[in-house]
Amino acid sequence: MEKNLKSRVTINRLCYKGLDIFTKKGYYNTNLDDILKELELSKGAFYHHFKSKEDFFIHIVQSLIVQKVYALLIEPLNTHEDPMPIILDSIEKALEPNKGNEMVYGFMLADFLTEFSKRNEEISRYLKDVVQMWEVNLVSLLKKGKVDGYIARHLDCEGVAAYIIASFMGVRTLMADKNASQTKYLYLQQLKHYFNSLKPQPEYI
Partner DNA sequence: CCTTAAACCGACCCTGGAGTTTGTTGGTTT
Partner DNA sequence: AAACCAACAAACTCCAGGGTCGGTTTAAGG
| Interface residues toward a second copy, by CB under 8 A | 24-26, 28-29, 110-111, 113-115, 117-119, 124, 128, 155-156, 158-160, 162-163, 165-174, 176-178, 183, 186-187, 189-191, 193-194, 196-198, 204
Calculate the alpha carbon distances from 169 to 38, 79, 108 in Å.
30, 24, 9
Q: Report d(CA 178, CA 171) in Å as an integer.
A: 10
| C-alpha neighbours within 13 Å on the C-beta side of residue 48 | 11
Residue type, 49: H
- Specify the stretch interacting with DNA by CB under 7 A; choose among 41-49, 67-75, 88-96, 185-193: 41-49
- Specify the stretch interacting with DNA by CB under 7 A; choose among 36-44, 109-117, 155-163, 179-187: 36-44
C-beta of 74 vs 183, nearer to a second copy: 183
Residue 186 CA, chain-centre distance (Å), reads 20
Using CB under 7 A, which of 16, 21, 47, 114 touches DNA?
A: 47
Is residue 3 a contact point for DNA (CB under 7 A)? yes
Is residue 6 a contact point for DNA (CB under 7 A)? yes
Using CB under 7 A, which of 17, 24, 49, 128 touches DNA?
A: 49
Residue ranges of alpha helices (H) inside the chain are 3-25, 32-39, 43-49, 53-60, 66-69, 83-94, 109-117, 121-147, 157-176, 180-196
**Per-residue DSSP letter, 105:** B
Residues that bind DNA (CB under 7 A): 1-7, 10, 30-33, 40-45, 47-49, 51-54
